[in-house]
Structure 1
Amino acid sequence: MNAFTRELHLFFNALTFFSRIPAPAWVKFSSAQLNHASRYFPLVGLLIGLIAAALYAAFSLLFPSTIAVLLSTGCTVLLTGGFHEDGLADVCDGFGGGWSTEQTLHIMKDSRLGSYGALGLVLVLGLKLATLVSLASLGDILLALLVGHTLSRFVAASLIHTDSYVQLDELSKVRPLAQRMSQSELLIAAAPALACLFLLPGHSALAIIVTLLLVRLYLCRLFRRRLGGYTGDCLGATQQLSEVAIYLALCLPPSLL
């Protein structure tokens, strides 16, 4: 297997892990390949963002922007199988109801949705929809969807590079994408995120960078203090919270920067 083919296999491993988009029949899947597929996490986000933007553009031809945003977001959740939303709900339940590390991890492994998880999902999805509707009225929603899905997945992937995985695979209901990311893999993951930033006006790019740095700093400290590192659910929660933070940053008036 040459280098290009190997990278294709890694990309499709990441794509099928994080979405319901089928891979070609010739793709080989294995835990070893999945462990190195995190480098393509943001690239998968870029693809999801392109699909979300295309869906919004199509729906907006038939419906008002609010309905188009709801339909596009719903299709995106179906496309990803609610994978990241599930992680967000588990983190809210675990961190809201757990006191010790062991109790928090135990609650996060429970597939049932608790009150904290329901509240977290409602608040985050509601905020996501509200900001996207606002961006639609400004004419910036297509670029926002592209940037939001890509950069948020880079922030989540970056935790794999800097932090330790704290839950054994056999005890987790969702296996992590990877337990370690090298410097070169991080650079590959950063490429789509940087490309998206160059599409934005300078003040918008600056607002997003500052916002994501603050979000990442807070979540890293929270995960390290409560768990000693990250779990697969923590990556999903990081993606969702980073995506919302990006939309909020794009809604800020340029005069504030």
Structure 2
Amino acid sequence: MADPGDRATWGDGLRFGFGTLSVLRVRVRRWDRAAGSRAMVSAPAVGLALGAAAAGAGALVAWRAGGPLGAVTAVGVLAGLTRGLHLDGLADVADGLGSGKPAEDALRIMKQSDIGPFGVLTLVLVLSAQIAALAGQFGHSTLRGALAVLAAATAARCALAWGCLRSVPAARPGGLGAMVAGTVTPVGAAAGTLGSALALAALGLFDGWSVLRLPLALVVGAGCARLLLGRCVRRFGGITGDVLGAMAETAATGTLFALALLG
């Protein structure tokens, strides 16, 4: 554990991000709020790396076996590379919000290991939407499908910084949510999103119209995640690790919906 007085570097943040947001074996040298802040701002880099792996696998399968299987492969690889962390958070938040109980009871429901009917229904709908949207993109071309995977994975991690703004408290002590809650400035969150949008625009040059579609879809996805954040803060009093995971999946799904609607 580093001295809390030491200033965390971006390298500390990237190690923190890859170590907590992926299955990659990374030595996390600092586990504190300073490193957590850097990790949330730089989380889109994690999304680009994981998205690149999923996009490559999905494009290969789509090329050989068609868009629908390519879409399933991409979604499955992303889930595997994160241990299903964000999907688990999405299901827990759905159960908490759907319970209709006071904040304390809802948070207790979210912490339980089982998944209730709201969580199951939400997972089915979200995964179906992601696969259907990606199947359409891969059906147009393997390149467009791969870019859509990259956009969704990046947007998901952009959402994390917005969930950790200094104005947003933790809903309960302990856990990853409390570690990173309130650590990110609006400038930091905006910079991460802007940098991601520019990176996607540059990649979109390989597919013409995607130079505009990808950044716009990312902004739409991040906006959807912000709407969920507002609901969770009003309902639970703040964020938890589950809320951050739900925001990530919401941003990814919103991005894919936007890409589908943009043609």
TM over 0.5: yes
Q: Following TM superposition, by how much is the alpha carbon of 1:187 offset from its aligned partner in structure 2, in angstroms?
A: 4.9
Residues 50-199 of structure 1 correspond to what in structure 2 (within 5 A)?
Answer: 50-139=52-141, 140-161=144-165, 163-170=167-174, 172=175, 175-176=177-178, 178-179=180-181, 180-183=183-186, 185-199=188-202
Question: Structure 1 vs Structure 2: percent identity of aligned residues?
Answer: 26
- Does residue 38 (structure 1) correspond to residue 40 (structure 2)? The answer is yes
Supply the distance in 2 between the matched residues of 1:198 and 1:190 (Cα, whole angstroms).
Answer: 12
Ranges in structure 2 where 5+ consecutive residues have no aligned partner: none
Supply the distance in 1 between the matched residues of 2:7 and 2:135 (Cα, whole angstroms).
Answer: 40
Supply the distance in 2 between the matched residues of 1:238 and 1:88 (Cα, whole angstroms).
Answer: 8
Higher RCO, 1 vs 2 (CA within 8 Å, ≥6 residues apart): 1
Secondary structure of residue in 2 paired with 1:22? coil
User: Which moved further from structure 2: 175-184 or 146-155?
Assistant: 175-184
Q: Following TM superposition, by how much is the alpha carbon of 1:136 offset from its aligned partner in structure 2, in angstroms?
A: 0.8
- Does residue 226 (structure 1) correspond to residue 235 (structure 2)? The answer is yes
Residues 208-223 of structure 1 correspond to what in structure 2 (within 5 A)?
Answer: 208=217, 211-212=220-221, 214-223=223-232
Amino acid aligned to 1:85: L
**1:181-202 Cα shifts (integer Å, max 9, x gaps):** 1345335523542223424436
**1:145-181 Cα shifts (integer Å, max 9, x gaps):** 11111122212321211542332333x5x55551221
Q: Following TM superposition, by how much is the alpha carbon of 1:141 offset from its aligned partner in structure 2, in angstroms?
A: 0.8
Whether the 8 Å contact between 1:38 and 1:177 is mirrored in structure 2 is: no
Amino acid aligned to 1:6: T
Supply the distance in 1 between the matched residues of 2:92 and 2:212 (Cα, whole angstroms).
Answer: 34
Supply the distance in 2 between the matched residues of 1:253 and 1:189 (Cα, whole angstroms).
Answer: 24
Supply the distance in 2 between the matched residues of 1:210 and 1:183 (Cα, whole angstroms).
Answer: 15
User: Which moved further from structure 2: 231-240 or 217-226?
Assistant: 217-226
Supply the distance in 2 between the matched residues of 1:114 and 1:92 (Cα, whole angstroms).
Answer: 9
Against the structure 1 CA distance between its residues 145 and 177, is the aligned structure 2 distance closer, same or farther, given a 3 Å change threshold? farther
Aligned residues: 249
Supply the distance in 1 between the matched residues of 2:231 and 2:171 (Cα, whole angstroms).
Answer: 16
Against the structure 1 CA distance between its residues 160 and 195, is the aligned structure 2 distance closer, same or farther, given a 3 Å change threshold? same
Equivalent position to 2:249, from 237, 240, 253: 240
Q: Following TM superposition, by how much is the alpha carbon of 1:61 offset from its aligned partner in structure 2, in angstroms?
A: 4.0
TM-score when normalising by structure 1: 0.85
Ranges in structure 1 where 5+ consecutive residues have no aligned partner: none
Q: Which runs of 4+ in 1 moved over 4 A?
A: 174-177
